[in-house]
Structure 1
Amino acid sequence: MTAPKDHLRRHAVRDLLHPHRVKDSMALARQPSLRNSALAGLQAGTAAAIALPLVWLSPWSHLLGFASLGALVALFGRFAPERSRNRILLLCALCQVTAVLSMSLVAWLGAPLPVQLALLALFCGAFLFVGLTGGFGPPGALIFVFAAAASMSSSMTLGQVFERAAATAIIALLAWAICAATETFRHHPTEERPLPADPPLPVRHRLIMAVRAAAGAGIAVFASHALGAHHPAWAAMGALAVLQGTHLHINMNRALQRTVGTTVGAVLAWALLIQDPSVWVLIAVLVALQILTEIVIGANYALGQVLVTPMALLMTHLAAPQAGGPQMAPERVLDTLLGAAVGISIAVLLSTIDDRRHLAEHQAKSRNE
């Protein structure tokens, strides 16, 4: 059956490339609950501020990067109903530990890099499906994929595998405890004051999104690897960030926002890393960035990426100082460009007629405003 004229893929591309798309992607949105977003950042920042100095001063200082991954669990469930957030946080902690443990075990078993990259692409689809099904909310599957990417290695002992998983799990539980102890400060959704809650998607829709994410991430990560990038996983995450959007216009906005925000953020990270800062400075900057990110990212994803990018690069540097440094910054930008381009291409190529119909309706509405 032929799609209606306005719902063909080439017309979707035309709508996505319309000049007003840039304006839309740069617009500032009203924060649904600045209090909840700031609290989530403060909770994650507090977990990091407690855990990272203790880990650095301990005999397990080499696990600093994995401890910081555990603290990120506090970012989830910020808009969840009163009795649901603790469950969501525990499930997210399980996903975070699973990502670290699974990829580390694969590395311990001697899997070559292409196998690890393929597994990472599959994780993009699997964690997206799990996050949508569990109603985890922002920041979505990217956090789990970031943990899996940080766990990729060319060689490893079984003891190191369990050290990594334990460090992630312990700090994730600390983050959960901090969130539980400060739950009283969070706004809870009510009929008078509803908070964002994505409507449950049909299983078919979730599966389609998961397949797109895995396909896009797979193409991006292997293209980056073929081009000789040192961190091809970043291209997979760039594609996933775009494909997490539930509609085509959101996919395009994410591609533009991630590209612009990452470019600016990479410059900031480079400017800091060339100073060769101490671990204490890096920890302080990470905590500050974590809090500030959650305050601004709800207003505009690009602004959030300006802060997320240096935070991700600093965490990568802490996890593997020998592979980090200022040289990561330009590669982060190039991998993000590649991932975003692949992501939006896959979004259009694998779009359904309903996706394109929704885009056409959104485009018509925008013209009339």
Structure 2
Amino acid sequence: MTRRRDAMRHLLASMRLADILAFAQQPSLRNAALAGLQASVAIAVAIPLAFASPWPHLVGFAALGALAALFGRFAPAKGRGQIVLYAAICQTSGVGVMSLAVWLGASPELQLALLALLSGVFFFISATGRFGPPGALIFIFAAGAAMGTVDGWQVVVERVSATGGVAILAWLICLATEVFRHKATEERPLPVEPARPLSHRLTAATRIAVGAGIAALVTHAMGAAHPAWAAMGAVAVIQGSHLHISMNRALQRMMGTVIGALAVWLVLQLDPSVTMVVVLLIGLQFATEVVIGANYGLGQVLVTPMALLMSHLAAPQAGAGIAPERVFDTLVGVSIGMVIAVLLSTLDDRTYLAEHRATRKRA
């Protein structure tokens, strides 16, 4: 049976803790660790400089720029520098476009609609450019961070400069340390993203934009303080290559977010110093890239504190209350994302799910 209701029933019935906790073999632990180290070095340089500058309020955007170093870890020998540079442009553009929209007077609802549109656009760009992990979520995170108050055009320029400047720093760090990256060989190939047809990329981008928009607007209507986090949760689920993978990601993101939010809540209760927060960010960034390729849920346990600590640096007045907000927004977002993934699934998606379930039953 390939009806949507059957697909949802199959997904709910096939949920297994073993699938959520399973560890996969990473294509290249060396490249994953190197990407984490490159981003960590960029953070270690950028955040202290931001605090020492006349613009310490831009520290959050400086940290966002460092994340450009995470892309292209499996790219061909001469292709990574270009991918990281394109990622830097996307990261900076997300901050710039959203900041500009806020300055021009966009309402909260219009900002969320723009975020949904950017989610689809960034997914399409990432898939077309074969950026590899962590994909469009990083760019969506940057655009969401730029929502809120913008007092003047100078703020737009400052945010773009901080994000773009550190993103270029991350690019230079990647170029300088390219010699340490494992290159593909016949004996040890690296994963290559398939060249997806244009129609497939457009369909996936449309699904993601719709899912992100619904998740963000629903949580906004419910009074959530950070509806962009719900949009990210929906995108993380919908971008799964198959429905059963989307379901696993939904559950892993839920569990990982709850555990990670609890951990960061405990940390923020201690009122950590800026130095301690920076040290934690550096360690979490590196550890995330080491483990997330093996288990997405465990990666979320580390990603959640990292995202919340970045938010804390940018707005320390929010305090530990941002942790439960992250949990609420994520739970709503991934739930909506899973429903949208099934509702907008194609017959091929549902047929593959039925065949996958039949294969598992025979096994």
Does the CA contact (< 8 Å) of 1:229 and 1:331 recur in 2? yes
Matches within 5 A, 1:1-369: 6-322=1-317, 324-369=318-363
Does the Cα contact within 8 Å between 2:231 and 2:333 map onto a contact in 1? yes
Counterpart residue type for residue 355 of structure 2: E
Normalised by the length of structure 1, the TM-score is 0.96
Match of 1:3 in 2: none
Alpha-carbon distance in 1 for matches of 2:347, 2:14: 23
Q: Secondary structure at the match of 2:320?
A: coil
Tell me how far apart the structure 1 counterparts of residues 17 and 347 of structure 2 sit (CA, whole Å).
24
- The CA distance in 2 between the partners of 1:142 and 1:32, in whole Å, is 21
Letter in 1 for 2:138: I
- On the 8 A contact 2:99/2:150 being kept in 1, the answer is no
Q: How many residues align?
A: 363
What CA distance in whole angstroms lies between the structure 1 residues aligned with 2:257 and 2:336?
A: 16
Asked if structure 2 preserves the Cα contact closer than 8 Å seen for 1:259 and 1:340, the reply is yes
Which ranges of structure 2 fall in alignment gaps of 5 or more residues? none
After alignment, is 231-240 or 17-26 more displaced? 17-26
Q: Kindly, what percent of the aligned residue pairs are identical?
A: 60
Could you tell me whether the CA contact under 8 Å between 1:150 and 1:319 is conserved in 2?
no
Stretches of structure 1 lacking an aligned partner (at least 5 in a row): 1-5
**Matched position secondary structure for 1:89:** helix
2: CA distance, partners of 1:246 / 1:273:
36
Q: Runs of 4 or more off by more than 6 Å in structure 1?
A: none
Checking the alignment, whether the CA contact within 8 Å between 1:110 and 1:154 is kept in structure 2 is no
Partner Cα separation in structure 2 for residue 310 and residue 286 of structure 1: 8
Task: For residue 64 of structure 1, report the CA deviation from its aligned partner.
Answer: 0.4
Q: Write the distance in 1 (CA, Å) between the matches of 2:53 and 2:38.
A: 23
Contact 2:68–2:170 under 8 Å retained in 1: yes
Q: Which moved more, 1:7-16 or 1:348-357?
A: 7-16
Deviates more, 1:114-123 or 1:17-26: 17-26
